[in-house]
Structure 1
Amino acid sequence: MAQNLKLYINGEWVDSSNPEMQDILNPANQEVIAKAPKATKEETEEAIKIAKSAFESGAWSDRTPQERAKVLLQIAEKMEENLDELAELEMKNNGKTLREAQSDAADAANTFRYYAGLLDHPSGVTYQAIEDLQTMIVKEPMGVAGLIVPWNFPLLMSVWKIAPALAAGNSIILKPAEITPVTAVKVFELIDQTDLPKGIAHLVMGSGSVVGQTIAESDDVDVVSFTGSTGVGRNIMQAATGNLKKVSLELGGKSPNIIFDDADLETAVDYALFGIFMGSGQVCSSGSRILVQEGIYDEFVAKYVEKAKGIKVGPGNDESSQMGAIVSEKHMESILEYIRIGKEEGGNLACGGSRIQRDGMEKGFFIEPTVFTDVTSDMKIVREEIFGPVVAIQKFKDEAEAVRIANDTEFGLAGAVFSEDQNKAMRVIRKVRAGITWVNAYHLTNVQAPWGGYKQSGIGRSLGTYGLDEYQETKQININLDPKPIRFFE
C-alpha cells in the first residue's frame, strides 16, 4: 500500500487540511509509490510565520558558524548511513537509473559536508580607509529562505539549496516538485534526527500555483531560490516584487557542444553522448545542440548515431539499463511532440524518435535516444528546450561561425569545446556566453564551483562560496576610533 506523505511544519509531521492527495508514480511502470498532500495557502503561510519567528528567536541564526557546521555534519552522516535507501527512492520516483541515483545521493551528502567545512573558514574584511575610522564587512543570514526545486534532480537540487541556506543561518521552507517529493521527505526525516532547532526547517508539498506562489509573494520570505523552467522563473520574479526579496533563479538551457576537426573523435563522441543522454536528457545543462566542423561532420555523425542506437534503455532497477524513464506521461508526450515537429521542420531523424513499449516497458514512460542531423538554427528543436533524450547536430565551417551559432540562443547555461588545439579551445570557450563550460569534457563538475547561467538561464549562482552568498546579506560596520563631536554645523 502506498505511503501517505505528510507535511513537516514546526518540527512535526502533520496532515494537510486539504483532503485531496496526489498519486506519486514510478515512471518506469506507473506503480503508485506514495500519495502526497496538497498544502493550502494557509498552511504555507503558517510554515512561513513559524520560520520567521524561529529565525528572529536566534535559536539558529545566532549560533556560531562552528555550531551550525556541527549540525550540517550530523545531516551528512545521517544521509551517508541511508545512501542506499535515498538512491532507491530517487530511482523509483524520478525514473533514473540506480547508478545515477546513487551518484546523486553521494553528492548530496558531500554537499552538506562541504558547507560544514566552509563555515570553519574565516570570512569578512576589515580595513581603514579614513583616518580614525575602522570598517568591517560582515555576512549575515537573510531570514526566511523559500526553496523551490524541480523534478529532474529531486534529491540533489533540494540539498544544493538546503545546505547553504542553513549554513548561512536562515530558516527554510522547501517546496519539492509536485510529482517527485519522496526523497525530500526522507531528507527531512533525517534532519529531524539531528540537533537542528525546531521551527527552522519546513517541508510544504503542493502545487506551484498555491505553495510556490505563496512563498514567492510572502512579505515574510526574504529570499527565494528556484530551479526550473524560464517561464516559471519569470512568474516568481514578478511575484517577489512585493517586498523586493532577493531572487535566485537557475533556469533553462539549450547548450552548445562544439566539436572541431582536430578533436579526438572517440572522446568527443563519448562525451557528446553523455552530454545529452545522461538523465534521459532531463538535465538543464544538457548538450542538446552539437555543432560539428564540416571536415569531420559525416564521420562524427556516423559514429555518434551508431553508439546512440546501442544505448540500453530500461527500468532503473535493471543493472543493464544505461538510460532510464521520462519522469511523467505528460512530459513524455511533450518530448514526442517536439520530435514530431522536428521531422515536420525538415530535420533528418537519424535514429530513435519513438516511445518504447516492449520488453517489460509497456507501462513505463520510455523514449528512444533520438538524434536529428542536418538541422538549421531556425528550427524549434534547435531553439527551444526539449528537456529529453533528443539532440540536434549542426554543421559549421570555422571558429567564427561556431561561436555565432553557439551564442544564437536566448539561453546561456552551459557549453563545451572539443579540440586538441588548447589555444583555440580557450579562445572559443571564452567567447561562449554561458556560465558552466568545459574543454574536452561535459557534465563534469564539483560542489566547489559556482553553478548558474547567463541570459535567460537565470540569476545568481548555486554551490561554492557563491552559493553561500545567495543566502547572506552583506553589512558594513564602521567604528570611530577617536569619538568626539564632529561639529558639522558649527
Structure 2
Amino acid sequence: MVSTTDNHQPAPSLPGGLFIGGDRIDRSSGGTHEHIFPGTGRSNGTIALAGSEEIDLAVASGKHAQREWMSFTADRRRDLLIDLADAVRDHMAEFSQLNVHDYGVPVSLAINTILVERFLRHFAGYVDKPHGLSSPVSGSFDLNLIEREPYGVVGVIAPWNGSMVVAAACAAPALAAGNAVVFKPSALAPFAALRFGELCAEVGLPAGLVNIVPARTEGGDALVRHRGISKIHFTGGGETARKILTAAAQNLTPVVAELGGKSANIVFADADLDAAAQLSAYQGPIVQSGQSCASASRVLVQESVYDTFLEKFVGAVEAARVGDPFDPSVVFGPVVSRHDTDRILGVIDEAVATRSGELVTGGKRIGGELAEGFYIEPTVFADVDNRSALAQVETFGPVVSVIKFTDEADAIRIANDSPYGLNAFIQTTDLTRAHRVSRQLEAGSIWINQISDISPQGPYGGYKQSGFGRTGGLDGLNEFLQVKNIRIGMG
C-alpha cells in the first residue's frame, strides 16, 4: 500500500556545521557535504565536515572538559545526566523530525530518541555507585584496591542508520563512567547528533564534554589515529572496522566494534504463524527498510508449515504502508541514498540471474509519485540456497531470504552457517525448545517471539564477524572504564 502525501519539512531549521567546545563551527578543513533527503532526492542543505584540525580542537576541548567533569561530585554528575535525559524527553518530537531528515526513517518508527532518554537515566544511576572493590592478598595483610577509572577522551563513531541509538548505547555510559566524548556521526545523517550535542551544553555539561564532528574518511582517520583518544567505539561494517583496527594499532588504542549481521529468524511449526509472519515482516524488510544490523534477513521455516507461513509472510510484507516518511501512517520508507538504491537493486538482479532463490514479491524501484525518492519495494526470495551470496552477504536493504529446514538440528546448522553472529530470532510456543536452541545459536543476542528491542539493562554485541565488546548493562559501562590496582603495604 503506497502513501503519496508529501509532508517534507523545510530544511533551514536543521542544525549544521560542527559542535566543538560548546560552540557551532560552520567552516572547517574537512570540506562540505550536500545532504540529500532520501524521501524526495532533494537537498536538505550543505553541512561542514571535520578535518584533522577540527579533530585536534575537539580532542583538546574534550581533555579540558573531562578534567572539569571529574572535579564535580558524583551527585552533581548524576543529576546533570538526569537533566539531560529530561531535556531529551522534552525535545522528543524535534528529534523524531531530525531522524526523518537524517536518513528517511518513517516518523512512525523514529523512536531512537526514547532509547537515549532510557540509557541516560539508567547509566546516571551508576555514577554514584561503587565501580571498584577490595581483595585480600596472598601471604600479606596489605590493602589491595581494584579501581575502575575513566579512559579520558573516547571516540565514538556512529553509522548513518543509528546516530541516536549509538548516542544512547555509547555516549550515555561513557559520560557516566567519567569520560569526554568526541562523537562522529556520518555525513549522511548528522542532524539529530548535532542537536544532541547542543542539548548537552544547554543543560550544563562542561563545554567540550560532548563534541559532535560529522566527517568523511579523513576526519574519521584523524580521530582514530589521534594520540589524545584513549578508546574507540565503532558501529558499522566489517570493511571499515578493519581499517579502523589498522589505524588504531598505531597508538595501540583499544577498539570496541559492533558490526553487521545476517541474522537467522527460525520459525518452528508450533509457532503462532500469524504473529510470526507479522514479526518477520517487521524485523526483516520493513523496519528501516532493512537497513539495520539487527535485520532478520534469513527467515528459516520448518518444512511442514513452509507454504502456509510463506503466504502469511508475503501478505504481511505487501500490506506495509509505503511512502513519505513524514506521514504518520507510513511504516516503510526509502533507502538512504541513490548509491545504495543502485547497490541493492544490483544484489536483487544478481540473485535472480544466479537463481539463488525464487523472487516472490518486490524486487523493483518504486515509481510514480515516489520516483524521485530512493524507494525499493520490500523484497522476498523463497527457497533460497543458504550457501548463496544472497544468504551469506549482508545486503543492508529491504531484501529477505526464506529458507526451508527439516528439524531442530537442521535449523541450528543453517542458522550458524554464517560468518555473522549479531542476533538470532526464534518463533516457538515450546519454552523448552526455546531454551535449548538459544544456547546452541552462535549469536550475541537471542530474541524469542519478539523483535530486536535493545535496552540499557541488556548487553548487546556480536559473535564472529559481527564484532566484539558490548553496549548496555554493566558490560557496556565497563567498556568505558579501565582497571587500576592499588596496593598499600600494611606491614
TM surpasses 0.5? yes
Cα deviation for residue 18 of structure 1 reads: 3.6
Residue 455 of structure 2 is aligned to residue 455 of structure 1: no
Cα deviation for residue 221 of structure 1 reads: 0.7
| Residue 422 (structure 1) aligned to one of 417, 426, 431 | 431
Q: Can you list the C-alpha shifts for 1:374-426, whole angstroms capped at 9, x where unaligned?
A: 11112111000011111000011111111111011111000011222221221
C-alpha distance in 2 between matches for 1:44 and 1:123: 30
273 and 388 in structure 1: CA distance in 2 versus 1, 3 angstrom threshold: same
Residue 362 of structure 2 is aligned to residue 352 of structure 1: yes
Q: Name the structure 1 match of 2:208.
A: 199
Q: Tell me if the contact between 1:97 and 1:315 (Cα under 8 Å) persists in the aligned partners.
A: yes
Q: Secondary structure at the match of 2:70?
A: coil
Q: Secondary structure at the match of 2:68?
A: coil
| Residue 141 (structure 1) aligned to one of 145, 150, 160 | 150
Q: Name the structure 1 match of 2:18.
A: 7
Q: Percent identity?
A: 35
Q: Name the structure 1 match of 2:281.
A: 273
397 and 4 in structure 1: CA distance in 2 versus 1, 3 angstrom threshold: closer
C-alpha distance in 2 between matches for 1:30 and 1:192: 33
Cα deviation for residue 73 of structure 1 reads: 1.3
Q: Tell me if the contact between 2:30 and 2:215 (Cα under 8 Å) persists in the aligned partners.
A: no
C-alpha distance in 2 between matches for 1:340 and 1:81: 45
Residue 376 of structure 2 is aligned to residue 367 of structure 1: yes
Cα deviation for residue 64 of structure 1 reads: 3.3
Q: Tell me if the contact between 1:65 and 1:167 (Cα under 8 Å) persists in the aligned partners.
A: no
C-alpha distance in 1 between matches for 2:15 and 2:472: 33
Cα deviation for residue 67 of structure 1 reads: 2.1
Q: Name the structure 1 match of 2:412.
A: 403
Could you state the TM-score of these two structures normalised by the residue count of structure 2? 0.94
166 and 300 in structure 1: CA distance in 2 versus 1, 3 angstrom threshold: same
Q: Name the structure 1 match of 2:182.
A: 173
Q: Secondary structure at the match of 2:160?
A: coil
Cα deviation for residue 46 of structure 1 reads: 2.4
Q: Tell me if the contact between 1:158 and 1:176 (Cα under 8 Å) persists in the aligned partners.
A: no
Q: Secondary structure at the match of 1:123?
A: coil
| Residue 271 (structure 2) aligned to one of 247, 259, 263 | 263
Q: Name the structure 2 match of 1:232.
A: 240
Q: Name the structure 1 match of 2:33.
A: 22
Q: Tell me if the contact between 1:44 and 1:215 (Cα under 8 Å) persists in the aligned partners.
A: yes
Structure 2: unaligned runs, 5 residues or longer: 1-10
| Residue 84 (structure 1) aligned to one of 83, 93, 105 | 93
Cα deviation for residue 53 of structure 1 reads: 4.0
Q: Can you list the C-alpha shifts for 1:269-308, whole angstroms capped at 9, x where unaligned?
A: 1211121121111110111001111111111111111221
Q: Tell me if the contact between 1:341 and 1:380 (Cα under 8 Å) persists in the aligned partners.
A: no
| Residue 191 (structure 2) aligned to one of 179, 182, 189 | 182
| Residue 42 (structure 1) aligned to one of 44, 48, 53 | 53
296 and 383 in structure 1: CA distance in 2 versus 1, 3 angstrom threshold: same
Q: Can you list the C-alpha shifts for 1:84-134, whole angstroms capped at 9, x where unaligned?
A: 111011112211111211x21222222211111222333322222433122
Q: Tell me if the contact between 2:233 and 2:256 (Cα under 8 Å) persists in the aligned partners.
A: yes
Paired letter, 1:33: N
Q: Secondary structure at the match of 1:118?
A: coil
Cα deviation for residue 4 of structure 1 reads: 7.0
Cα deviation for residue 219 of structure 1 reads: 1.7
Q: Can you list the C-alpha shifts for 1:427-486, whole angstroms capped at 9, x where unaligned?
A: 11111100011122221332210111001101101112211111110112222223xxxx
Q: Name the structure 2 match of 1:65.
A: 74
Structure 1: unaligned runs, 5 residues or longer: 483-490
Q: Can you list the C-alpha shifts for 1:346-382, whole angstroms capped at 9, x where unaligned?
A: 1100100111122x31211111110000111121110
Q: Name the structure 1 match of 2:347.
A: 338
| Residue 287 (structure 1) aligned to one of 296, 302, 308 | 296
C-alpha distance in 2 between matches for 1:389 and 1:341: 15
C-alpha distance in 2 between matches for 1:4 and 1:116: 27
Q: Name the structure 1 match of 2:229.
A: 221
Paired letter, 2:364: S
Q: Name the structure 2 match of 1:436.
A: 445
Cα deviation for residue 80 of structure 1 reads: 1.3
- CA root-mean-square deviation: 1.6
C-alpha distance in 1 between matches for 2:304 and 2:129: 50
Report the count of equivalent residues: 477
65 and 19 in structure 1: CA distance in 2 versus 1, 3 angstrom threshold: closer
C-alpha distance in 1 between matches for 2:383 and 2:196: 45
C-alpha distance in 1 between matches for 2:454 and 2:29: 41
Paired letter, 2:359: L
Q: Tell me if the contact between 1:4 and 1:34 (Cα under 8 Å) persists in the aligned partners.
A: no
